[in-house]
Chain A
Amino acid sequence: MKVSRVFVANRGEIALRIIRACRDLGIETIVAVSTADRESKPAKAADRAVCIGPPQAIDSYLKVQTMIAAALGSGADAIHPGYGFLAERPDLVEACEKNGLIFIGPTADNIRKMGDKLLAREMGRKLGIPVIPGSEMVATSEEAQKAATKLGFPVLIKAAAGGGGKGIKTVHVPEDIKDVFEEASGEALAAFGDGRLYIERYIPNARHIEVQIIGDRQGNIIHLFDRDCSLQRRYQKILEEAPSPVMTAELRKRICDAAVRIATHIGYQNAGTIEFVFDQDQESFYFLEMNTRIQVEHPITEMITGVDLVKEQINVAAGNPLSISQYDVKVSGHSIECRINAESPDRNFHPSPGHIDAWDPPEGEGIRIDSHCYAGCVVSPYYDSLLAKLVTWGTDRFDAIKKMQYALDHFTISGVDTTVPFHQYILKNKDYLEGRINTRWIEDTVLRGYGQ
Chain B
Amino acid sequence: MEPITQEDIFLILKLIEESKYDEMHLEIGDLKIDVRKQGNRASVVDSKCVSEKTAKPAVSVPPPEKMKKDERASDTAGAFTDESGLTPIKASLLGTFYRAPKPGAPAFVEAGQNIAADDTVCIIEVMKLFNTVKAGVSGRIAKICAKDGEMVEFQQTLFLVQEAGDLDGEMRKSA
Q: B60 an interface residue at 8 Å Cβ cutoff?
A: yes
Minimum Cβ distance to chain B for residue A3 (Å): 14
Q: A302 an interface residue at 8 Å Cβ cutoff?
A: no
Q: B55 an interface residue at 8 Å Cβ cutoff?
A: yes
Nearest B-chain residue to A29, judged by Cβ = B67
User: Are A48 and B56 in touch, CB under 8 angstroms?
Assistant: yes
* B residues 106-129 touching A (CB-CB < 8 Å): 126-127, 129
Q: A138 an interface residue at 8 Å Cβ cutoff?
A: no
User: Are B95 and A69 in touch, CB under 8 angstroms?
Assistant: yes
Q: Using known A-B contacts A65-B129, A73-B60, determine if residue A53 contacts B151 with beta carbons closer than 8 Å.
A: no
- Chain B residues with CB under 8 Å of A73's CB are 60, 94-96, 150-151
User: Are A69 and B153 in touch, CB under 8 angstroms?
Assistant: no
- Chain A residues with CB under 8 Å of B32's CB are none
Q: How large is the interface on B (under 10, 10 to 19, 20 to 34, 35 or more residues)?
A: 20 to 34
User: Are B151 and A39 in touch, CB under 8 angstroms?
Assistant: no
Q: Given B61, B150, B154, which contacts A53 in the complex, CB threshold below 8 Å?
A: B154
User: Are B55 and A52 in touch, CB under 8 angstroms?
Assistant: no
CA distance A72 to B61 in the complex (A): 9
Q: B54 an interface residue at 8 Å Cβ cutoff?
A: yes
- Chain A residues with CB under 8 Å of B52's CB are 38
Minimum Cβ distance to chain B for residue A202 (Å): 45
Minimum Cβ distance to chain B for residue A93 (Å): 15
Q: B156 an interface residue at 8 Å Cβ cutoff?
A: yes
- Chain B residues with CB under 8 Å of A53's CB are 93-94, 154
- Chain A residues with CB under 8 Å of B59's CB are 48, 74
Q: Using known A-B contacts A38-B54, A38-B55, determine if residue A74 contacts B151 with beta carbons closer than 8 Å.
A: yes
Nearest A-chain residue to B66, judged by Cβ = A28
* A residues 1-55 touching B (CB-CB < 8 Å): 5, 28, 34-35, 38-39, 43, 47-54
Q: Using known A-B contacts A28-B66, A51-B153, determine if residue A69 contacts B55 with beta carbons closer than 8 Å.
A: no
Q: B143 an interface residue at 8 Å Cβ cutoff?
A: no
User: Are A51 and B156 in touch, CB under 8 angstroms?
Assistant: yes
User: Are A51 and B67 in touch, CB under 8 angstroms?
Assistant: no
CA distance A54 to B93 in the complex (A): 9
User: Are B62 and A5 in touch, CB under 8 angstroms?
Assistant: yes
- Chain B residues with CB under 8 Å of A49's CB are 56
User: Are B60 and A39 in touch, CB under 8 angstroms?
Assistant: no
Chain A positions within 8 Å of B, measured between CB atoms, are 5, 28, 34-35, 38-39, 43, 47-54, 60, 65-66, 68-70, 72-75, 95
**In the complex, the 9 A-B pairs of residues with the closest C-beta atoms, listed nearest first:** A75-B62, A73-B151, A51-B153, A65-B127, A73-B60, A38-B54, A51-B154, A53-B154, A69-B126
CB<8 Å pairs between A and B, sample of 24: A28-B66, A34-B154, A35-B155, A38-B54, A38-B55, A43-B54, A48-B56, A48-B59, A48-B72, A50-B56, A51-B55, A51-B56, A51-B94, A53-B93, A53-B154, A65-B126, A66-B126, A73-B96, A74-B62, A74-B151, A75-B61, A75-B62, A75-B63, A95-B127
Further contacts, 10 of them, CB under 8 A, given A53-B94, A70-B151, A70-B153: A28-B66, A39-B54, A47-B67, A47-B72, A48-B59, A51-B56, A66-B93, A70-B94, A74-B62, A74-B151
